[in-house]
Structure 1
Amino acid sequence: MPNRLARSTSPYLQQHADNPVDWYEWGEEAFAEARRRDVPLLISVGYAACHWCHVMAHESFEDEATARFMDEHFVSVKVDREERPDVDAVYMEATQAMTGHGGWPMTVFATPDGAPFFCGTYFPPQPVQGMPSFPQVLASVAAAWTTRRDEVDGSAESIRAALAERPPTAPLGEDLDPHAAERALATLARSFDTTRGGFGGAPKFPPSMVLEWLLRHSARTAGHGDGADPLELPDALDATATGAPSGDVDPALRMAERTLDAMARGGMYDQLGGGFARYSVDADWVVPHFEKMLYDNALLLRVYVHWWRLTGSPLAQRVVTETADFLVRELRTGEGGFASSLDADSPDAEGRPAEGAFYVWTPDQLREVLGDDDGAWAATTFSVTDDGTFEHGSSVLQLLVDPVEDDQARLADARARLMAAREERARPGRDDKVVAGWNGLAVAALAESAVLLERPDWLDAAVGAADLLVRVHLTGDRLARTSRDGAVGTAPAVLEDYAHVADGFLALHQATGDAAWLARAGALLDAVLARFTDGAGGFYDTADDATDTVLASIRRPRDVGDGPTPAGQSAAAGALLTYAALTGSTDHRAAAEAALREPVAVGARVPRAAGWALATFEALLDGPREVAVVGPVDNPMTVELLRAARRSPAPGAVVVHGEPDTEGVPLLAGRPLLDERPAAYVCRGLVCDRPTSDPSEVAEALRR
Structure 2
Amino acid sequence: MSKPNHLATETSPYLLQHAYNPVEWFPWSEEALKKAKDESKPILVSIGYSACHWCHVMEKESFENEETAAIMNEYFVNIKIDREERPDIDQVYMDAVQAMTGSGGWPLNVFLTPDGKPFYGGTYYPPQQLYNRPSWTDVLHGVANAWHNKHEEVLQQANNLTGYIEQSNTFGHDNAEQNFTHEKAATIFTNLMKQADTLEGGFGKAPKFPQTFSIQYLLKYYHFYKNEEALKHALLSLDKMIYGGIYDQLGGGFARYSTDAEWLAPHFEKMLYDNALLLITMADAYQLTKNDLYKETIDHTMAFITRELLSPENGFYAALDADSEGEEGKFYVWSKKEVEEVLGADAELFCKFYDITETGNWEHTNILRVKISVDDFSQKHKIDLPVLKEKLKEGREKLLKAREKRVRPGLDDKILLNWNALMNTACCKIYAATGREEYRELALKNVNFLLAAFLQGENLFHTYKNGHAKISAFLDDYAYLIQALINLQEITGDVSYLMKAKELTEHVLDNFSEAETGLFYFTGSQQKDIIVRKKEIYDGALPSGNAVMISNLYYLAVVFDVQLWHERCNKALGSLVKMCENYPTSFGVWCDLILEVIRGTREIVVTGEVVDEVRKEILANFIPYKVFQSASQENNLFPLLSGKSVTSQPLIFHCKNYSCSEPVNNVDLLLKQL
Q: Which category describes the TM-score, using the shorter chain as reference length? A: over 0.9
**Which of 5, 10, 18 is matched with 2:20 structurally?**
18
Residue 111 of structure 1 and its aligned partner are, at CA, apart by 0.2
Deviations 1:642-689 (A, max 9, x none): 244213323211322231324765533322235x31111121334422
Pairing 1:105–2:107 present: yes
Letter in 2 for 1:199: F
Distance 1:41 1:139 in 2: 14
Aligned residue in 2 for 1:692: 664
Aligned residue in 1 for 2:518: 538
Aligned residue in 2 for 1:410: 391
Aligned residue in 1 for 2:184: 180
SS at match of 2:604: strand
Pairing 1:322–2:306 present: no
**Which of 185, 199, 207 is matched with 1:203 structurally?**
207
Aligned residue in 2 for 1:628: 605
Matches within 5 A, 1:510-589: 510-549=490-529, 551-552=530-531, 555-589=532-566
Pairing 1:92–2:94 present: yes
Aligned residue in 2 for 1:138: 140
Distance 1:622 1:644 in 2: 23
Distance 1:541 1:252 in 2: 34
Residue 410 of structure 1 and its aligned partner are, at CA, apart by 1.4
Residue 107 of structure 1 and its aligned partner are, at CA, apart by 0.3
Pairing 1:357–2:330 present: yes
Rate the CA distance shift 1:510–1:328 in 2: closer, same or farther, 3 A.
Answer: same
**Which of 652, 655, 665 is matched with 2:625 structurally?**
652
Aligned residue in 2 for 1:305: 283
Letter in 2 for 1:533: S
SS at match of 1:319: helix
SS at match of 1:446: helix
Letter in 1 for 2:355: S
Distance 1:486 1:216 in 2: 41
Rate the CA distance shift 1:167–1:335 in 2: closer, same or farther, 3 A.
Answer: closer
Residue 514 of structure 1 and its aligned partner are, at CA, apart by 1.8
Rate the CA distance shift 1:622–1:478 in 2: closer, same or farther, 3 A.
Answer: farther
Distance 2:585 2:296 in 1: 27
Distance 1:410 1:581 in 2: 52
Rate the CA distance shift 1:654–1:547 in 2: closer, same or farther, 3 A.
Answer: same
Rate the CA distance shift 1:96–1:84 in 2: closer, same or farther, 3 A.
Answer: same
Distance 1:389 1:608 in 2: 30
Rate the CA distance shift 1:30–1:180 in 2: closer, same or farther, 3 A.
Answer: farther
**Which of 443, 456, 461 is matched with 2:424 structurally?**
443
Pairing 1:217–2:197 present: no
Asked if the contact 1:619–1:652 (Cα under 8 Å) also holds between the matched residues in 2, the reply is yes
Residue 513 of structure 1 and its aligned partner are, at CA, apart by 1.8
Letter in 1 for 2:269: E
Aligned pairs, how many?
A: 661
Q: Which moved more, 1:92-101 or 1:463-472?
A: 463-472
**Which of 445, 451, 458 is matched with 1:464 structurally?**
445
Residue 559 of structure 1 and its aligned partner are, at CA, apart by 1.9
Asked if the contact 2:88–2:523 (Cα under 8 Å) also holds between the matched residues in 1, the reply is no
Deviations 1:108-141 (A, max 9, x none): 0010001000010000111111111101100100
Deviations 1:575-622 (A, max 9, x none): 222223333333333233233233433210111100011112223333
Rate the CA distance shift 1:315–1:361 in 2: closer, same or farther, 3 A.
Answer: same
Aligned residue in 1 for 2:382: none
SS at match of 1:122: coil
Residue 695 of structure 1 and its aligned partner are, at CA, apart by 1.8
**Which of 392, 396, 400 is matched with 2:372 structurally?**
400
Distance 1:8 1:343 in 2: 19
Letter in 2 for 1:525: T
Rate the CA distance shift 1:512–1:640 in 2: closer, same or farther, 3 A.
Answer: closer
SS at match of 2:80: strand
Letter in 2 for 1:80: D
User: Percent identity of the aligned residues?
Assistant: 37
SS at match of 1:681: strand
Q: Which moved more, 1:312-321 or 1:46-55?
A: 312-321
Deviations 1:118-171 (A, max 9, x none): 010000111111111101100100011111111111111111111122264455
Aligned residue in 1 for 2:350: 378
Asked if the contact 2:268–2:328 (Cα under 8 Å) also holds between the matched residues in 1, the reply is yes
Deviations 1:50-93 (A, max 9, x none): 01001111111111111111111000000111111110000000
Gaps of 5+ in 2: 379-384
Pairing 1:607–2:584 present: yes
**Which of 476, 480, 485 is matched with 1:505 structurally?**
485
Aligned residue in 2 for 1:287: 265
Rate the CA distance shift 1:542–1:170 in 2: closer, same or farther, 3 A.
Answer: closer
Distance 2:638 2:631 in 1: 9
SS at match of 1:683: strand
Asked if the contact 2:434–2:620 (Cα under 8 Å) also holds between the matched residues in 1, the reply is no
Aligned residue in 1 for 2:243: 265
Q: CA RMSD in A?
A: 1.7
Asked if the contact 1:569–1:595 (Cα under 8 Å) also holds between the matched residues in 2, the reply is no
Letter in 2 for 1:547: Q
Residue 639 of structure 1 and its aligned partner are, at CA, apart by 4.6
SS at match of 1:374: helix
**Which of 340, 346, 349 is matched with 1:367 structurally?**
340
SS at match of 2:472: coil
Residue 524 of structure 1 and its aligned partner are, at CA, apart by 1.2
Asked if the contact 2:264–2:367 (Cα under 8 Å) also holds between the matched residues in 1, the reply is no
Deviations 1:167-187 (A, max 9, x none): 644552123342332212111
Rate the CA distance shift 1:542–1:561 in 2: closer, same or farther, 3 A.
Answer: closer
Distance 2:341 2:240 in 1: 29
Q: Which moved more, 1:286-295 or 1:410-419?
A: 410-419
Aligned residue in 1 for 2:655: 683
Task: Give the TM-score normalised by the residue count of structure 1.
Answer: 0.91
Distance 2:415 2:642 in 1: 37
Rate the CA distance shift 1:4–1:386 in 2: closer, same or farther, 3 A.
Answer: same
Matches within 5 A, 1:23-62: 23-62=25-64
Asked if the contact 2:172–2:519 (Cα under 8 Å) also holds between the matched residues in 1, the reply is no
Rate the CA distance shift 1:219–1:584 in 2: closer, same or farther, 3 A.
Answer: farther
